[in-house]
Structure formats: structure tokens, C-alpha cells
Structure 1
């Protein structure tokens, strides 16, 4: 048995992570509005010992070509993430539930309160996927912010997180004495104000929701740009990242762990989970046939719309689709993903339309089409060679893609001593072997509110 154990999460998409998944005969075309679909997927992952059920979100419908507008990206037309997280949390008992929420169009007090409430409801199993919102279609749904520039969004995000952390320290865990005889519900020094006042936010506090058994919600960060890695190194417990191959993943892993050390936080205190998009067959040929069947369902304008979004809301309408990807302006939105996709196009010599089809499934994450044995071996390579601490599963279709992985790959990971799921009653933080950050371990001097 290796000293480290693999962490596994699953992304609760509607019909599947492939852009054409909803057209596949094995999927439900109404999965995006069926809460029981998400609950069943989370329960199956929980039974298999997964650590995280991850819920994506965005605050608007992405721009799409006219021909694709009614067909693209079904997960943008479903449930709000915190609402869905509540349903999943009360329908499970062990798996962690990570919900996405934006720092650009929220206020720290409200969001800290919502997440703390979910953490109590779930008995300490909630994580917050911190996003900054990046699409113009999201910005146009809200009052103007000071700046929608990439750097400013991350500056705002960092302050947002610090305000939330301060609010989550409002109550001393040992302060609730609940003494019926004396009438004292909590001790005099149990409560303190956050008193956050910064450039973007103010939040006096205290928060009117107490901490769960895990202290506070887990912080998950998915940005892989320079500012994104810096934010992750300073604040995140878990980093979810798109890495197309082991070499890129190892470089990212080293960078984040090194940044963590520079900030006086031990490198092992952050768990790095790249995404994996596996198509599994009894033979490699069968896996390739399954992948080809999905690719045959792709509508070109849908794939191109998806590519334009992930390249940073660029317009490719006047570009030769059979030619190479042109030079692009630096993205103000999904900056790190733009870099990943440009590198894929250049290294594999893909035309624009070929790139659109290439990323229609994995969207820049690691894609592997093979047998369960080969996939388990490659996962071990990534894990042992410090490219990952675990993986976020991106099932091509639901439920079959996740079921195939659970049935075929998970037993092999257990046989190799990599994956050791626990059935114990643990908080999400305990499941992942994480401690509270130093910022929360040293509580400020208490001020009676």
C-alpha cells in the first residue's frame, strides 16, 4: 500500500461531459432538469467510495452561433448549484458535495451564510468551488462591477475568500454550552465580529450560522492561470485543473506545491485533482468505437460554439475552419483553458474544426480511450509520478460512463493499493486528510458582538 491514497471525485453533469451526450440513445434528454438524475449519480459514486460529487455552474447562457443556440451546453440550462447541492447533500451520507459559486456577483456574507448552512445540513461535507465568472453573458445579468478585467476579478476573489474565512470564524466551536439550568446558551467569549473592510467588500459580522464539525466548507479552486495558481496556493484545500497529459500535469503540480511552500503552507496540505475523461471498452477497439459513436453525434456549429467559449469568447466565424488556429488575443475570461487548447492545436497539428471536435468531450482535460486495465495503469503513473493526488471523473455519458468506471476501473485501483475508500462517518476534510488552514487555526482575539 502506498503512503498516499488516491482521491476520486465525479462531475455531476446532466447527460454527460461530451457535448453531444444528450443525443446518445443511452442518455436522458431531460437529465438537466431531473433532480433524481443527479441524486442517483451521487449515490452511485458514494457507494463506490468516491470522495466528492462536484456541481458546476455559471450565471448565464454562453454565446453561441445562431444555428447552435438552441442546442449547446445543456448544463447551462439546469439547476442553480447551491440549490442542487442541498438536494444531493440530504440524499447522501458520506460523499462530499462541492458546489460552484462566483465571487464576482455575490457578497461574502450571503454566500458564507449559504455555504455554512449547507455544511451543517450535510454534517460537514460541503466544499465551495471558487470561480470568478468570466463570460460577458454572465456580466450582463448583474449590476456593473468596478472592473471585469481578469486580474481585477482575481483580486476581488482573494478578498472575497478572506472575508468569508473571517465570517466562518464568528463562533468558537466549544462556546455552545446550552445550559438549561442557568439559561446560558453560549459562553460570553463564544462570539466575535469579522470586521472585514476592504477595497471590494465590507462585512462586520458575526455570521448567524455556526460552524459544522469540519470547521468550515472546503475551499476548491479551478483556475490554472498565473493568478489562479497563486490564489489556489494561498487559499485552496483542493485544486481542480485541466491538464491534457502527464507532462503538463507534473509541471502544474510542482508549481502549485512550490507556491504553497513559499507561502509557508506545507505542500501536502493542498489536494490536486486533474480531470479525466475516460471511454472504456473491453478492448481498445471497442473503446474507440464507443468514442466514435459519440463523435458522430456532434453538430459542427455546436462544437465550434463550445470551442469559441473555451478559447475566451472569441469569434471564429471568419476563420478558415480547415486551416490552423489563428493567433488569438489574450483571453480576459478562461485564460488558462485558452492556453491548454492552443497548445493542443499546435502540438497535434489540428485545424480549427478538428480542434473543435477534439475537445468536444474532454474540453482540454485528459482524455483516454482504452481498456480498464490500461486506464488504471495510466492513473497509477500520474499518481505515483506526482502529476495528481487524485482525479475528477468526467463521464462521457450518464449513467453509463460513470457506471463503467465504477465497475471496471475502481476495482483495479483498489487491487493496486491506490484507492482505499472509507465507509466511516467522516467530514469531507477528514476524508481527504486535510487540516484547517493556519488562518483558521489561529483565531483572533474575541470581541463580544
Structure 2
């Protein structure tokens, strides 16, 4: 489990650029690098895979129990080095403890024994940045701390002054990145654009790797991540089981947000995944036992989905006798209509009565714990699920029976309960795992 966790004091400091450049730079050295993402993110893992050629997995101490965390940590077997990317700020989590913790990146690093590489944006400050670094190092004394990478440094003088502060505070400087305006990845309302949509992702990542090789001490990072004696309890390792044997999975630019550990669990248990593209007007396989529509960006393709008659007819035929489930964007696509940001109403599959709108955006973000009031694929009524919700849609109508009682991480009720109608179910949250009895 040699490795490091790349984090920052806050979002927007450049840690994703550092993460992708580090993955590629280490892979270019001939190392087998295993990436991870701390927290509930379904976009970054695809970028990680593009950078180093190895599937990335989420590690989430709020949603996941110890058995699932250990199962995912075992993905590092056969790798030379692990690099995990934190989410938000290093210590940011929720107020109420979940299955293994509060969901912070610091908890992930401490649990896995990975020293933290803290990326600090030093724009507008110099020696003062050392106070930030020292506070982060001392806030959790038992957290291994490798050092800092100083990002967006304006000049050699700026670097000298900032290094002086770090030396005084006893903080290792692992690298200094000059200010550059061409390193930002393109974004949209849910964060980064999807990896498959980047116009020239491989060239961009290669550029990040060159930038890190020029300005970061890779040998020092590798040395910081050398494994120490970390005895870990032996537990039954488990991944989420498949909800059916043959699963028709929507996969295209409109439907792509499925956690990697979910798909790995399905495949390892012997399930057959049958991809299809609603945007290409493909119907789900008639041989499928279940149709699963993951989240994504249906609001950007609403007109195309409304015109996809073959896809819609196939979905409706399947739902007459067999289950269909949708998450977030997939849930919206199963509804009666979706109104785009221009106020245009588009017909959706009509398997649920849900009507959603992006004309007046409303931000929904956070962990979700759901207790099912009706069965959904893979889970019986009464089962508790853990997931995460992130979207900007507004519900105009949700007339079907509620699927679950849903609350946030602190136990406060959430009005987005999901829906059930016949063989069709949907949720606004993305499933991470079901709780063990």
C-alpha cells in the first residue's frame, strides 16, 4: 500500500491538475500506479484511468463499511504505488458519523496509511502560506504528512519568500508550480466535463506530467509514500452484488455516472452487462433481466432523447414485465417530461410521472441515507441504502408512490424520495452501497 493522498485546503486550488500529472509522470517511469478518489465523485475516476491506464475507485468513509473499504483497497494489489485524490478540503466531511467515519479525505489517508501531499494556492500570499500548512499538519497529529506543493507561484522572489516561511514552520516543500493559465480543465455545472468529452485529454494530461516533472520532486513523493508496518484487521471483503444476471446499462454522453466499484461488483459476481446508447436511439437488449439508467447529463441532450423512438419503445416494452431503474439523470429520463434551461418541454420515457425543470435551477448536494418503502432492483423493502445526490433540477411534479424515506447525513428528512410505479423505480441519489444487516 505504498502511496500518497493529494489534497488541498479547499476546492479550486489545482489538486486535480497535480493528481493527473502525477499519475502520468509515475506511469511514464514504468510504475504501475493505482488511483483512488476519496469521497463521492463519479467524474474524476474516468480522468484517473485516462492518466495511468488503471481503473480508479472511490473510498468513502461515510457511506462505506470496513469490509467494502478493504475490498476496494485490495485493488492496489499488483501496483507499485497508490495515488489518491481528496475531495474539497482535507478535513471537510459531515457532522454526523457514518459507517466508517465522517467522509473526510484525512480519514481516508489515515486509514490507508498514505501521507498527505497538500497543494496550496499561494497566490496573494507568501510566508503566510506556511501558517496554513502548519495548521493542516498539526490539526490531526496522527495523520502522516508528506509536505506541500506550492501552486500558482508568481515569480522567483515569490518562491523564495514562500519557501522561507515553510522552512521556518518545518514543512517539506515537494514542488513549486509557476502560475499558468492553460492548466484548467473545462467545466460545467456539475464540475469537470466528462473525460470522454475532453477535446484532447491525452495531450492535456501529458502536458500536466511534463509540468510536474519540471517543477516537482517525484523522488521525494515516492520516498514519502514508502510503506510502513500497517497491520490491518482481516475482514470479509465484499463488493456490491448485482441486482440481476443480465443488466442492460445505458452508457453514452447522457448517461455515464456509475461508481466503478458498483460495476466491478456486478462483473465479479458473474453478471452480464449489456451496454446500450439512448442517444444513438438503441433499445435495451430484449434478453436483459433489468434496465439500469445511471445519472449523467440528460438535460443537455433532452431533444435528442425525446426523438429517440426506438429507445423509448424498447424501454416501455421491457417495463411491462421486467424492472427498470434510474438514478438522478436516469430517473429524470424515466419521467414524463424534462424542461431544459431555455424553458422548452421535452417528452421523456413516461414510465414515471416525474416532471423536472432546469429553467429555474436549484442546487441539491449531499449524502443520502434511504430506507426503502418498496423493493427496487437488488434490494428488498426495508433495506437501508447509502448514496449521494448532486444535481440542479427542480421537481415540478412527482405523483407516483414514494420509493423510500430519505434523509441527509445528519438524519434530516429530504423531500426527494424517489418513485415507484409497477416495475419502474427511480432515485435522485446515486447508490454507493446497501447497509449490511
Q: Normalized against structure 1, the TM-score is what?
A: 0.31
Higher RCO (CA < 8 A, seq sep 6+): 1
